[in-house]
Amino acid sequence: MHRNTSRSLLTVLFAASTISAPCFADDSDSSSGRCTLAQGTVELVQKQLFAVVRLADGNGGIFKPNRMWAAVVDREGHLCSVIKTGDAWPGSRAIAIAKAFTANGFSNDALALSTANLYAATQPGGSLYGLNNSNPFDARFLEQGSGVGRTLGGVITFGGGVALYAGGKVIGGLGVSGDSACADHAIAYRMRKLAGLGAVPAGQGPNNTDNIVYSTGASPMGFEHPHCFPTDLSAAAIESVH
Question: Of 195, 193, 187, 132, whose CA–CA distance to 160 is shortest?
Answer: 187
Q: Are strands 79-84 and 69-74 parallel, antiparallel or unpaired?
A: antiparallel
CB atoms within 10 A of CB 190: 27
Given this model, what pLDDT does residue 13 score? 31
pLDDT band at 65 (very low <50, low <70, confident <90, very high): very high
Checking if the pLDDT of 210 tops 60, the result is: yes
Rounded to the nearest 10°, the torsion over CA 218, 224, 230, 233 is -170
Question: Of 29, 23, 20, whose CA–CA distance to 138 is shortest?
Answer: 29
Cis amide linkage into residue 230, ω under 30° from 0: no
pLDDT band at 1 (very low <50, low <70, confident <90, very high): very low
Alpha carbon 9 to its chain centroid, in Å, reads 48
Pairwise CA distance, residues 219 & 102, whole Å: 23
Q: Residue 52 belongs to what H/E stretch?
A: helix 48-52
Domains for the chain: give ranges and CATH numbers.
33-239 (3.30.450.150)
pLDDT band at 145 (very low <50, low <70, confident <90, very high): confident
User: Among 18-22, 34-38, 140-144, 171-175, which is the least confidently predicted range?
Assistant: 18-22
Do the beta carbons of residue 37 and residue 80 sit within 8 Å? yes
pLDDT band at 28 (very low <50, low <70, confident <90, very high): very low
